[in-house]
Amino acid sequence: MQLRFTGTIVVCIIMAFTSAYALKFVAYGDSRDDMTTFGSINNRIGGENPECIVFAGDCWGSSSQTSWVNAIKANTVTNALLNANLYLVSRGNHESFSQLSAVSPTVVKNSSERYSFTQGNCFFVSMGMNPSSDYTWMQQQLSSAASTAASWRFIFNHYPIYSTGSHGADGSNSSGASIDQYRALCDQYHVTMCFAGHDHIYERTKLIYNGAAVGSGTTFNISTTPGTVYCVTGGAGAPLYGVGSDWWTGYANGTYNYVVLNATADTVYATAKDENGSVIDAFKIIKNHSTAVAQNAGEKSNIGLRICALGNNAFAVAAPAGAKCAIYDILGNSIMRKSISAAGEPLNISFVKKGLYIARITFAGQTLVRSLAIR
C-alpha cells in the first residue's frame, strides 16, 4: 500500500519540523603539535554526529598541515563535513592566513579570514585571529537580514574575550587590544555565545551583559535577562594550561575538551566533554521558557536522529544502525526505503528531479521528519 500525503498535510509537516528545527554543532580549537590527541578528540566529535563544526584556530603548529587534514579525514562524519565546507576555522596565531587558505578542501568561507554564514537556525560569524580586527564589518554581519532571521547568533575567533588561562582576557582587553566594542556589539545584537581558543583550557563565563555578570548557574533565561556566554575551548591537543577563577567564571577546567551544542527553536543545550567523552560541564540558554519546557522532552526524544546536508544533493543520516529511512515526494510517492547500517551513512537522492522531498527516519519508537530540497 502506497503512503500518500495531501498537499495540506505535507505543508503542515514541513512547518512543524521547521519551527522545532535543531542544529547540532561542535566548537573546539587548538590542536597544535599533538595530532594523536587531536585525532582521538576528532573521533569523539564524529561520534556526536554534528551537522557543523567550528574550530578556533592553531591547527597544526609544529606538525604538518597534511597530518592535521588527515586526522579530520580519518573520521567518516568529520570528513563529510570537511568536504561540504561545514568544518570551518578561525585562524590562530600559529598559522598565517595564506597557510590556512591553502587547506583543501577549504576550511573558510569566501576565501576570507573573516566571514559569516547561516546553518540551520543559527548565524555564525568568524572574526579570525583577532576579535578586534574590524568592528565595522562585525556590526554589518550582526545587523544583516541573515543574522536577524536566525534564532541564535554565535561568534568564533582565536583570541579570547574572557579567560583565566595563561594569555588571559578580562572582557575589556585581549592580547593587548581593547575589546570593549566587541562586547558592546554582542549586547546590542543579542549574540548567544562566543567561542575562542588561544588559552589551552575549557572555561565558560556566567551570563554577561554590559561588562557584568547578570546570571549564574547552569540555566540562563535570556527572555527576561539578556546576555552572552563566552567560552574558551582551546584543548584539542595543544599543551594544556592552568586555569584560575575570576568574577566572570562559570566553570573552568584545564583539560582537553570540545563543546557539543544543540540549538532548538527556544533552547541552546551546551555540553562540554573531555577527550574520553565524559561530561565536564553542561548548561542551557533559554529564549522562551514556556515553550522550551514543552519542547524539552520532545527535542531530546529524537536527538539521536538527524539528517545533515553534505552538498551536491547528498545527505548523511545520523541515526543508530537499524534505523529505517524513507523518502517521499510531496504527493506521498515512495522514492527510497533503506535501513541504516552505520551512523553518518550517506543518503544520495541526486537521481531524482529537482524539487522538495520528505525524509522520515524511525528508530525504537522515535521519528524524525524533515524536508529535503534537491536543486
Q: What is the pLDDT of residues 240-269, one digit of tens each?
A: 999 999 999 999 999 999 999 999 888 999
Task: Indicate the domain borders of the chain.
Answer: 7-16+304-374, 23-295
Number of H helices, E strands in the chain: 9, 27
What residue type is assigned to position 284 of the chain?
K
Cell (9 digits) for 172: 575589556
Overall average pLDDT of the 196-210 stretch:
98
pLDDT, averaged across the chain = 86
Q: In whole angstroms, what is the distance from residue 226 CA to residue 220 CA?
A: 9
Q: In whole angstroms, what is the distance from residue 218 CA to residue 251 CA?
A: 10
End-to-end CA distance of the chain: 29
Q: Which DSSP string do the residues of 49-113 spell out, in sequence order? A: --SEEEE-S---TTS-HHHHHHHHHTSHHHHHHHHTT-EEE---TTS-HHHHHT-SS-SSSTT-S
Q: In whole angstroms, what is the distance from residue 306 CA to residue 120 CA?
A: 12
Listed as own residue / partner, the contacts of 211-220 with beta carbons closer than 8 Å and 24 or more positions apart are 211/171, 211/172, 211/180, 211/183, 213/247, 213/248, 216/250, 217/283, 218/282, 218/283, 218/284, 219/283, 219/284, 219/286, 220/283, 220/284, 220/285, 220/286
User: At residue 53, does pLDDT exceed 80?
Assistant: yes
7-16+304-374 classified as CATH 2.60.40.10: no
- CA-nearest of 235, 174, 232 to 200 is 235
Superfamily of domain 23-295 in CATH is Metallo-dependent phosphatases (3.60.21.10)
Over residues 320-361, the pLDDT tens digits come to: 778 888 888 766 778 888 888 776 677 777 677 777 777 888
Element of type H or E holding 144: none
Q: In whole angstroms, what is the distance from residue 162 CA to residue 172 CA?
A: 9
The overall pTM is greater than 0.95: no
Q: In whole angstroms, what is the distance from residue 245 CA to residue 251 CA?
A: 8
Overall average pLDDT of the 197-210 stretch:
98
